[in-house]
Structure 1
Amino acid sequence: MRILHTMLRVGDLDRSVNFYTQVLGMRELRRNDYPAGEFTLAFLGYGAESEHTALELTYNYGVSSYEKGTAYGHMAFEVDDVYAACEQMKAQGVKILRDAGPMNAGKTIIAFIEDPDGYAIELIGKKY
């Protein structure tokens, strides 16, 4: 058993694909349009879906934003250097929710950023 994908609803598919590919280095793996259902799905990831978990971005025609609710927490991405990643992302105009630094009551270096739809993303320093 394995996780296949995580799905997020987005208000502007191209804007979100650009964020995940240009800022977080993912590739668009495939895109499927369903005109009869009035939605489009884009799958992104760091490798083939047969071997890696993907991120599914769902765009419902005509819906530009969603309420996040209180159940959603965040997605986490490992980066080599959290401080450098935050500086690079700031330069790209990414909203930083929590600057890079040690986690509360721990030593792991983390930061939080926000994607174009307001979803929180944690950056966690690679442990060597």
Structure 2
Amino acid sequence: MRILHTMLRVGDLEKSLDFYTRVVGMKLLRREEFPDGKFTLAFVGFGPESTHTALELTYNWGTSRYELGTAYGHVALGVSDIHATVKAIRDAGGKVVREPGPMKHGTTVIAFVEDPDGYRVELIQQGT
């Protein structure tokens, strides 16, 4: 058993695809239109769905905004150079909401960026 994907509802699919592909560096794995249901699904990730977990971006036609609520936390991505990753995201127009540094009550180095819908993406320094 393994996690296949996590789904996020997005208000502007093209802005979200730009963020997750151009800014974060994921690849668009597949995109499906469902005219009868009036929604589009786009799956993005760092590798094929057969071996990697994906992020499903769901765009419900005509819905441009969602309330995030208080239960959502974040999506976490491991990175090899957190400072270079944050710089690249910022240079690409991404919004950095927490600069790299040790997590509160720990030593793991983390940073947070925010996607166009306000979802938080945690970057976690991997390795030394």
Indicate whether the TM-score tops 0.5.
yes
Identity value in percent: 60
Structure 1 residue 93, shift from structure 2 partner: 1.9
- Checking the alignment, whether the CA contact within 8 Å between 2:22 and 2:92 is kept in structure 1 is no
**Structure 1 residue 85 corresponds to structure 2 residue 85:** yes
User: TM (normalized to structure 1)?
Assistant: 0.96
CA deviation profile, 1:81-122 (whole Å, cap 9, x unmatched): 111211222222211111111111222110011001100010
Equivalences for residues 43-58 of structure 1 within 5 A:
43-58=43-58
Partner residue of 1:127? 127
Partner residue of 1:21? 21
- Report how many aligned residue pairs link the two structures: 128
Structure 1 residue 24, shift from structure 2 partner: 1.3
Q: Which runs of 5+ in 1 are unaligned?
A: none
CA deviation profile, 1:52-107 (whole Å, cap 9, x unmatched): 11110000000001000000000000111111211222222211111111111222
- Which 4+ stretches in 1 moved above 4 angstroms? none
User: TM (normalized to structure 2)?
Assistant: 0.96
**Structure 1 residue 112 corresponds to structure 2 residue 117:** no
Partner residue of 2:65? 65
Structure 1 residue 48, shift from structure 2 partner: 1.2
Structure 1 residue 21, shift from structure 2 partner: 0.6
> RMSD between aligned alpha carbons?
0.9
